Chain A
Amino acid sequence: MSVPLNILFWVVVIPGTVILGLVACWIVRKVSALVQWRVGPPLCQPLYDIMKLMGKEILVPQDAQRTVFMAAPLVGLAGVLLLSMMLWRITVAQTAFIGDIIVAIYLMVLPSLALILGSSASGSPHAAIGTSREMKLVMGYELSLVLAFIVVIIKTGGQLDLATIAQQAPALSISGMLAFLVALLCVQAKLGFVPFDIAEAETEVAGGVLIEYSGALLAVWKVMHAVMLVALPLFLVTVFLGGFGTTGWSLVWGIGKYVLIVVLLILIKNTNPRVRIDQAMKFFWFYCGIALVAAIILATIGSYYGIGWL
């Protein structure tokens, strides 16, 4: 990549990701609305929401641990922006070291951790319940997610480097497909979408983890969520579906893969009620766990005997 292009990349990447995230937010809202026979918001609505929140007062509860409460959203946003940066570097502007799958796993936990920290610092009983639910949820899906990536690592012959993994498409095999489906559900939970919006559960704990946040801090959470809507599906595309090109058909194909994942997420979101936290944990540990153990066994057999479709 030439130097001016490189500079341009660094200039646009963060605002670009945020804007893409807001567009993704709009897609989620619009498609949900269409599924529910509503009209849905205009394209700029997520942006208006953020702008409006930015102008509002920030209220910090009396009992809150102020620093943690204020810093948590920024930490979460930073983590998820770093993740998206990594992914853009793989697809758009490759350099020597861009981090491997382990780093990505760490970065993906950051938003949830930040949410847990921030909400537990707020000192509200509703947030406390939300925090405990978020913690349980993280423990639930994180194991499944890591197992799903192990399948990928086995399928790609022990590769940890994301750029190399992105050259292959592990989902085109039985074990890879299983791992992909489980990872998709984990992403659903990471995004806090129904049926896994347990930590926020508006009608139960009135927003749970986010209940005490207002104004600009809430806006940061919203932006973080928007960026996650870009980064997490993109990560799935990179790891499972053979990555993302920058030119011609491979670009269109890449966008297609991304849209496919987002649409799947939206459909799951709109055709399910919220589950209880114990049901969610049972689902991830028990059902997803069994599926992934089977996938790992299949993948190992496949790589040992050189059978690609296993």
Chain B
Amino acid sequence: MNQEELNNKLSEIKDKLIAVEQPADSRIYLTCEAENSYAVNKFLFEDVPLRFVIATGIDSDDCFEILYHYAYDETGCMVTLKAFIRDRENPAIESIAPFMPAAEWIEREIHDILGIEFKNHPDMRRLILADDWPEGIYPLRKDAKKPVKRPDGEVCSRPIVQSQSPARRTVELSKPVVAVGPFHPLQEEMEFFQLTVDGEIVTDIDMRISYNHRGIEKISESLQFDQVPFLVSRICGICSASHPLAYVQAVEDIAGVQPPERALYVRTIINELERIHSHVLWVGLAGHFIGYDTVFMWAWKYREPVLDLLEEITGNRNNYGNVKVGGCREDIPDELTPKILKELDKIEKKMEMLTKAVLDDPILHARLKGVGILTREAAVDYAVTGPTARGSDVGIDVRRDDPYAAYGALDWNVITQTEGDVFAKAVVRLLETFESIKIVRQALKNLPDGPVTTEVKEIPPGEAVGHAEAPRGETFHYVRSDGGNRPVRHKVRAPSYVNVPSFRASCIGQHIADVTITLAAVDPCYSCTERLAVVDQHKNVIHDYDTLLRLSREKTARIKKEMGAPELKMEDL
């Protein structure tokens, strides 16, 4: 189905819509009233069919808007459906989660932050707000500004693992439950999986996220357009090139700016180096999870030169801060090219050895093949992206489907596997590193001359979506501008946000021993998944940097005093 057929197909539901806008070939905006959203969504998801990306809840002045973002991967078209909820007192809309599991989390999230009720949602527990967060306070509403105190004046500290409120208790205590989290050797970050087990077999799984909110979306609304890339690169240390890129592409779309050619190539190189180091990191961690620490250590050793290259190019191992609206901040000097090519040769050789070792190991076959299978159907229902999707024979890749940076001009392949098990995902990642090496080589060879930035004066009012293929899958940013110098709404969807819920489809019925590697197989990135909400509101004391510094100094002084050390003054030094 090409773009024209898609447009024709969409016109079939015209009577349910208010308007259809198409600012560019690959961007379509539909608007409808809340009453019709269920029917339109069902049509988009089941009849067209489109891939659900995420939904954005926005508090406009006179109404609430829910934006359902879809992608049509064959042409790379992004379709956004806007539903208006006019009733501000009791905002409600029909839930789409019953036919689309991928929407389950985001509807819970919008319920948490905007207080919109989703009718017929299967599981309306809180997703991202703390258990002790007071009812009726919605952090992303425009009127939620003042710090709040609980009615009884009590301040509970997080994390609370088992909630006291019956609404959040999920597993009956009569069944044996194995807790993976909130702190567990499997995980580098806080996350909580409750596995209900029958002997060694897992019969149910419940997930709890958001032990570590940073309120990125909220903070973004208070930063200028040019400052936001630094913020979003800190969503995740590993995807710190793809998040800003997706954001910058959205803003460039609003402003109608075309960055110079050379900048596009520089962006491509940095993003691909990021993919190489991220995939190698995963291989190491996967080895660790199945007790293969030698692979862990070797893979991470091979990853180091990639980080060194990134440091040489951008000045940082992570958080490169190189991309900006209208181009790049720093160029790749031409004299660095031979060095990068030389290092790439070395990395390729080592990766060939590692890949061969991993793919030929009979015990690894026994451990990973047929384990944690995510079927093609489940992959579509949960709308997973990246290697998780490509391992299940869903051949989507933003770099090819909706080419950005310089990907359209380069020759490379999308790797897919059909099995959908952990082994397939490992193969996809390992082979993708070779494709990435190929891309970097070509990009360096074809690197055009010229500047890397173009001047951007103002960001006009408007809205746009930007997406990029991060190592874990599609990272998606939606930005709305009102013509000022700050975004009025900035929605971030990291790939793990859709990949993690697919555990429900891939883990149940597995052995406990296999669940852990299945959990790890999507390369979950919790820091990406948890980027929203404001946690300091239930404390009246807000520790800023100065306070912390003072407290830290006071503690040092106290300890010194207790130890009887002589007091050292600045003047003495």
Contact = CB atoms under 8 A, between A and B. Distances in A.
Interface of A: 32, 35-38, 125-126, 128-129, 132-133, 194-195, 197-198, 201-207, 270-279
Contact of B512 (A38, A129, A274): A129
Interface residues of B, number: 34
Contacts of A273: 287, 290-292, 295, 361, 363-364, 367
Nearest to A198: B513
Given A194-B291, A203-B186, 5 more contacts: A36-B298, A204-B515, A207-B185, A271-B294, A275-B367
A276 B514 contact: yes
29 contacts: A36-B297, A36-B298, A37-B297, A37-B298, A37-B301, A125-B179, A128-B176, A129-B178, A129-B197, A129-B200, A133-B200, A194-B291, A194-B292, A195-B291, A198-B513, A202-B185, A202-B291, A203-B185, A205-B178, A207-B185, A273-B361, A274-B290, A274-B367, A275-B366, A276-B511, A277-B511, A277-B513, A278-B200, A279-B367
Interface string B433-465: 000000000000000000000000000000000
B292 A204 contact: no
Interface string B319-361: 0000000000000000000000000000000000000000001
Interface string B37-79: 0000000000000000000000000000000000000000000
List the 4 shortest-distance A-B pairs measured between CB atoms, nearest first.
Answer: A274-B291, A36-B297, A273-B292, A273-B290
A276 to B, nearest CB: 5
Contacts of A271: 294
Contact of A201 (B199, B287, B291, B363): B291
A207 B184 CA distance: 10
Contact of A272 (B186, B197, B363): B363
Contacts of B290: 203, 273-274
B188 to A, nearest CB: 11
A125 B301 contact: no
Nearest to A279: B366
Nearest to B361: A273
Nearest to B178: A125
B117 to A, nearest CB: 36
Nearest to A207: B185
Contacts of A126: 178-179
B294 A270 contact: yes
B292 A274 contact: yes
Given A129-B178, A202-B185, A272-B363, A38 B292 contact: no
Interface in B496-538: 511-516
Contacts of B176: 125, 128
A203 B516 contact: yes
A129 B201 CA distance: 11
Contacts of B514: 276
Given A36-B293, A125-B176, A198-B513, A275 B298 contact: no
Contact of B363 (A128, A195, A202, A207): A195
Nearest to B368: A273
A31 to B, nearest CB: 12
Nearest to A197: B291
A82 to B, nearest CB: 31
A125 B511 contact: no
Nearest to B183: A206
A203 B185 CA distance: 5
Nearest to B516: A204
Contact of B294 (A35, A202, A205, A277): A35
A202 B512 CA distance: 12
Interface in B197-219: 197, 199-200
Contacts of A201: 291, 513
Given A195-B363, A206-B185, A276-B511, A132 B291 contact: no
Nearest to B197: A129
A135 to B, nearest CB: 12
Q: Which of B291, B366, B513 has the most CB of A within 10 A?
A: B291
Contacts of B10: none
